[in-house]
Amino acid sequence: MNKLLKFVLALVVLAAGAGALVWALNVRDEIDVNTPVAAAAPGASLAERGAYLARAGNCQACHTAQGGQAYAGGRGIATPFGTVVTSNLTPDDKTGIGSWSSAHFWRAMHNGRSKDGRLLYPAFPYTSYTQVTREDSDALYAYLRSLPPVAAPNQPHALRFPYQSQAALAVWRALFFSPGVYEADASRSAEWNRGAYLVKGLGHCAACHTARNALGGSEQGLDLAGGLIPMQNWYAPSLASPYEAGVSDWDNQHIVSLLKKGVSPRASVTGPMAEVVQRSTQYLSDADLGAMATFLKELPPSQATAPEPAAIKTQGESVERAAKLYEQHCAQCHGAKGEGIANAYPALAGNRAVTMGQAANLVQIVLNGGYAPATQGNPRPFGMPPFVLVLNDTDMALVLTHVRQSWGNRASEITPLEVNRIRASTASAAR
């Protein structure tokens, strides 16, 4: 044999080996969907439990198109790799999951594989849902089967090359996904374990609160140390850092209040998290929210150190202009000293959402305004008006810098460029 042939042969063997490895990694922990299982009797109580779990997983939010029928899919999820369109989860035979067995459903939740064997895109957060137990998966299945069937054919995804290929997805999964049900930590309380199960599993908090790499994978595991939400220009703050949204020094009941009502004495939610509270966490039992709070309080503190206090300009034309803008546009609600108004408008002094190193949310809130979610516990929230048409980039940067550097706040300056970047991205997303 000549050398070239040997080389080619070696390459073929290597490729086959790598392919086999990727394949093996992709079928880890999969069941044979054709093996009959003694199904739990699909009674009303199972479906009822499933309805609760579907809230915990916020399934409806993604699997419902804007103004469309609940769970009939069709919502486009924009990702850096293209748009993934959610599927019809109603029990329609032809277009939904009417022909799926509970084993097919389990394989989708646990292994990220569709009924027809296709690998699913991780915009469906099976990287988290894989931690859900078979029992809970079956309850969800029973609930979805109890919905009225809607005939709504699934729409094709619009992903760019090479992301649209199953081979590329298989490689991604080999790198960033490993299936496995949540394993309880025997050294921790049952409550802590329940909280961990909900946060890591159905709650899929890591989908936003854990940073993703350039390929959309999470390298750091489930550290919940904060990340920019792809395409949305909102920052999901670290749940482990005392300088962002860590809650280690919060009262348990304040954490529960934030997730139940959307407001608490320590903070309120807006933006993407308002949707999560409105559609998901407000419906969870106090016991489950308390468990999540216990888990979140005890997250290992991140390595984050306090941000360097910024050098603050105290004089000059721009400083005076910033103070005047604040007085004109902000002070009426947030107070002359950034003290806010209890139960209505958040204080800006000492507010971590104001002083966080990542200022995307602050810019978003002032540009586009926003309400805290209307919940059972806070049905008539107060709102922030949009300033996108009132303040130009320069003035907005001035006033944001002012609130980040007044009343004891010592955060870095916001530049007009930063404001402009987010203004441009939200203007295009809003169309």
Nearer to another protein, 275 or 413 (CB): 275
Q: Name the DSSP letter for residue 98.
A: T
Per rule CB under 8 A, count of chain residues that contact another protein: 39
Separation of alpha carbons 52 and 339, rounded Å: 38
Separation of alpha carbons 84 and 76, rounded Å: 6
State which amino acid sits at residue 417. Answer: L
Nearer to another protein, 43 or 386 (CB): 386
Told to check if 229 binds another protein by CB under 8 A, we report no
Told to check if 381 binds another protein by CB under 8 A, we report yes
Q: Which of 176, 243, 382, 407 binds another protein (CB under 8 A)?
A: 382
Q: Supply the DSSP string of 335-404, one letter for each residue.
A: -TTS--BTTTB---TT-HHHH-S--HHHHHHHHH-EEPPP-SSSSS--EE---TTTS-HHHHHHHHHHHH
Cis peptide bond N-terminal to 91, omega within 30? no
Place of tokens 């086959």: 16
Told to check if 369 binds another protein by CB under 8 A, we report yes
Told to check if 426 binds another protein by CB under 8 A, we report yes
SS3 70: coil
Q: How far is the CB of 232 from another protein (least distance, A)?
A: 11
Q: How far is the CB of 390 from another protein (least distance, A)?
A: 7
Question: How far from each other are the two terminal CA atoms of the chain, in whole angstroms?
Answer: 63
Nearer to another protein, 221 or 379 (CB): 379
Told to check if 265 binds another protein by CB under 8 A, we report no
Q: Which of 51, 228, 229, 390 binds another protein (CB under 8 A)?
A: 390
State which amino acid sits at residue 407. Answer: W
* Among the listed residues 392, 374, 393, 395, the one whose alpha carbon sits nearest the alpha carbon of residue 383: 374
Q: Which of 377, 385, 408, 424 binds another protein (CB under 8 A)?
A: 385
Told to check if 186 binds another protein by CB under 8 A, we report no
Told to check if 3 binds another protein by CB under 8 A, we report no
Nearer to another protein, 105 or 387 (CB): 387
Q: Which of 128, 368, 406, 409 binds another protein (CB under 8 A)?
A: 368
Name every residue whose Cβ is closer than 8 Å to that of residue 270 and which is 6 or more positions away in sequence.
Answer: 365, 370, 371, 372, 384
Locate 90 and state its tokens: 């109603």
* Among the listed residues 11, 204, 236, the one whose alpha carbon sits nearest the alpha carbon of residue 123: 204
CA dist 152 to 47, 90, 97, 195, 403, Å?
Answer: 22, 9, 11, 36, 49
State which amino acid sits at residue 349. Answer: A
Angle of CA points 34, 35, 39, to nearest 5°: 110
Q: How far is the CB of 322 from another protein (least distance, A)?
A: 13
Q: How far is the CB of 327 from another protein (least distance, A)?
A: 5
Told to check if 383 binds another protein by CB under 8 A, we report yes
- Scored b (16 or more CB within 10 A) or e, 226-236 reads bbebbebbbbb
Would you give the binding string for another protein spanning residues 57-76, x where CB under 8 A is met? --------xxx---------
Separation of alpha carbons 261 and 374, rounded Å: 8
Nearer to another protein, 10 or 336 (CB): 336
Place of tokens 């407001």: 263
Separation of alpha carbons 279 and 58, rounded Å: 7
Nearer to another protein, 347 or 388 (CB): 388
Count the Cβ atoms, other than its own, within 10 Å of residue 317.
Answer: 7
Are 256 and 352 a contacting pair, CB within 8 Å? no
Pick out residues in 267-326 that bind another protein (CB under 8 A).
Answer: 270, 274-275, 278, 324
Told to check if 372 binds another protein by CB under 8 A, we report yes
Nearer to another protein, 304 or 331 (CB): 331
Nearer to another protein, 147 or 274 (CB): 274
Told to check if 374 binds another protein by CB under 8 A, we report yes
Nearer to another protein, 231 or 429 (CB): 429
Q: Which of 327, 337, 350, 408 binds another protein (CB under 8 A)?
A: 327
- Near another protein by CB under 8 A, which window of 30-38, 126-134, 176-184, 363-371? 363-371
Residues found near another protein in the complex (CB under 8 A): 65-67, 262, 270, 274-275, 278, 324, 327-328, 332-333, 341, 344, 368-374, 379-390, 426-427, 429-431
